[in-house]
Amino acid sequence: MLAVVKKCGMAPEIMHIAGDLRDLQGIVGGLIEPLALDERTDIICNDEGKILGMPMNVVLECDGEEGPVLADVLCGDIVFVGCDRERGDFVSLELGAAADLVRRLSSEFVMTSSLELVPVLHIG
C-alpha cells in the first residue's frame, strides 16, 4: 500500500508498505494508535510515544477563534495511510494525496527547545 512515512528528524517519504498490523507496529515502534486526519486519511502513531519519551515528530494545529491553536504533538515515527471508513480498513493513499501530505509536512515548522525543527500540520 502507498503511504507517507515521517521518521523523527527526517523528511517525509512516500513509500510502499505492507500495511498489516505487524508492519505498522514496526514503523511506529510499538502499539499503534490511528488518528483521523480527514475523511480519507489516518495518521498511525505509537500509542505510548509521549509516555516513552520518544522525540517530537509533528505538531498538529487546528483553527481557533483567534487563529491557529495547538491540537496535539505526535511523538515517535508516524505513518499516513488511506482509510475506508465504511469497512474500517487501512488502504493505500492516492498518489496525489501522498504528494500533498509531503508538501504540507515540508512547508511550516516550529523550533523545539532543543533547537530542532518540527513540521506543523494543520488539521480540520
Averaged pLDDT in 10-residue chunks for the chain of 124 residues: 97 96 97 95 97 96 89 96 94 97 94 88 87
Q: 3-class SS at 27?
A: helix
C-beta of residue 71 within 8 angstroms of C-beta of residue 61:
yes
Cβ contacts of 61 within 8 Å, gap of 6 or more: 68, 69, 70, 71, 120, 121, 122, 123
Q: What is the dihedral of CA 73, 2, 89, 124, to 10 degrees?
A: 40
- The pLDDT, as a whole number, for residue 113 is 81
Domain ranges of the chain: 2-54+76-108
Q: What is the pTM for the complete model shown?
A: 0.93
| β partners of residue 43 | 35, 80
